Amino acid sequence: MGNEHVFVRKIGEGFPIVMLHGFPLDHRSLLPLEQCFSQHDHWQRYYIDLPGLGQSCDGFDIRSASDVLKALGDYLTEEFAEIDFAIVGYSFGGLLASALAAQYGDRIRSIFLLAPEFVPDDKARTLPKKTVYHVSDLPRDAAEQEITAYKATAVVESAENFELFKRYILPGLMGNSENEAVRYLADNPALATTPAEYMSQYRHPVTIVVGENDTMIGYEDAFALYRTLQESTYVCLPKAGHTLHLDQAEAVQCIFRRWLSDLGQQLR
């Protein structure tokens, strides 16, 4: 199945939570959420580099989002067999999570979606106008390439936010900069059907967190899907963009801890 080619960083022991990053990033983009866990928690986090991206770039012939979904599904089926799990999906990872909800159904006990990409065609998305909240100047010695990448999505512009971007987001962007799969995925970003269709029969809790200033995927399309779900929570954070877990870290971590608490209650 090629599972040996899927890079996974496992942290902790206990009930599995599958962490799916965005495009074209890698697993490090979700590591800020590690602050919500402690060594005494009973959660095992699976930080996956999606097939074709990051350290999972070799061993797969990725030509479309559907190829990523197929390879990811093969990994999950072999890794978990009949074991239940939960999913955290960020951006493109959120799109994949919606499809996995149809594939695995009740075995996915809850889903946490962070700035989920529900409309693959960027020209069809409902987007807000770009707004930047300048907090402090960026480091003068920062490379121009780093500044350009940062400003493409930055909403809360500050030296501290920039350092978080360099630590968690930029490595994936740079690491995938010459990855051929990125071009294929950019040209073929859609799955077989829509997230609303994939999730139409999903009955477990879904939490959706978006940024009011996200000019990449917006927040209105996620709200439209939220209204169709059986059991869901929708939070739209002000002064937050596509990297909302960096822009409004405290708020996102608070919501995520609540999701973990609710999941723990459900599993008892």
Give yes or no for residue 191 having a pLDDT over 90: yes
Beta-carbon contacts of residue 96 (< 8 Å; ≥ 6 apart):
20, 50, 65, 68, 69, 72, 89, 191
- Give Cβ neighbours of residue 73 (< 8 Å, ≥ 6 apart): 100, 103
Model confidence pLDDT, tens digit, residues 83-117: 999 999 999 999 999 999 999 999 999 999 999 99
Q: pLDDT band at 148, cuts 50/70/90?
A: very high
pLDDT tens digits along 203-238: 999 999 999 999 999 999 999 999 999 999 999 999
Residue 212: which residues within 8 A CB-CB, separation 6 or more?
128, 219, 236, 237, 238, 239, 240
β partners of residue 15: 43
Measured at the CA of 204, the angle between CA 35 and CA 21, to 5 degrees, comes to 40
Return d(Cα 49, Cα 47) in angstroms, integer.
7
Q: How far apart are CA 45 and CA 20, in angstroms?
A: 11
- 131: tokens are 């707004």
As a whole number of Å, the end-to-end CA separation of the chain is: 34
CA distance 185 to 96: 13
Distance CA 210, CA 235 (A): 6
Listed residue (11, 16, 3, 12) closest to 82, CA to CA: 16
Q: Is 268 helix (H, G, I), strand (E, B) or coil?
A: coil
Please tell me the distance from the alpha carbon of residue 258 to that of residue 255, in angstroms, as a whole number: 5
Structurally, at CATH architecture level, domain 3-267 sits in 3-Layer(aba) Sandwich (3.40)
Residue 3: pLDDT band (50, 70, 90) is confident
Which residues does 225 contact at the CB level (< 8 Å), separation at least 6? 118, 195, 196, 199, 208
CA distance 215 to 54: 24
Give helix then strand counts, H and E, for the chain.
Answer: 10, 9
Give dist(CA 83, CA 169) in Å, integer. Answer: 31
pLDDT score of 206: 98
- Give the whole-angstrom CA distance, residue 51 versus residue 94: 15
pLDDT, tens digit (0-9, with 9 covering 90-100), for 11-41: 999 999 999 999 999 999 999 999 999 877 8
Residue 2 pLDDT > 90, yes or no?
A: no
* Exposure on the CB side of residue 51, measured as CA atoms within 13 A: 24
- Report domain extents, the chain: 3-267
CA distance 11 to 48: 11
